Structure 1
Amino acid sequence: MLLAGAWLAAGCAAAPYRPASGDTVVTTVARSAGTPEIRQLQGRLAAAPGDLPTALALARRYIALGRAETDPRYFGHAQAVLAPWWGRVDAPPGVRLLRAQLLQNGHRFSAALADLQAVTASQPRNAEAWLTQAVVQAVQGDHAAATASCARVATLAEELAGFACLAAASVNTARLEASERLLAATLARSSGTPDELHVWAWTLLAEMAARRGAAGTAEQRYRTALALAPRDSYLLGAYADFLLDAKRPAEVLALLRERQRVDGLLLRHALALRDAGGNRGALAAAVAELQARFDAAAQRGDRVHLREEARFMLQLRGDPSAALALARQNWTVQKELADLRILLESARLAGDQRTLRDAREWVARNGTQDVMLPGLAGSGP
Structure 2
Amino acid sequence: MKLAVNVIKLMALALLVAVLVHPLKSEAAVNTSAPDLTMTIGNVKGYVGDTVDVPVKINKPNKGIAAYGVELNYDSSALEVVGIKEGYGSGDTAACSQNKEGCFWSSYDNSKGYLRTAWADTTAGDHPITETTTLFTVEFKIKDGKKLGANPLTVDSSNKESLSFSDVSNHPLNVEVENGQLTTAKSSNADLSSLQLSNGKLTPAFSKTVDTYKASVAHSVDSISIATKAEDAHSTVTINGKPATDQYSLETGDNTFKINVQAQDGTSKDYTIKVTREKDQTTVNNQTDSGKGTHASTGTSQTDSSNGTHVKTLPKTGDDSYIDRYLNIGIGAVTAAILITLVIYYRKKRMTQD
Tell me the TM-score normalised to structure 2 length.
0.17
Larger helix proportion of the pair: 1
* Higher CA-based Rg: 2
Larger strand proportion of the pair: 2
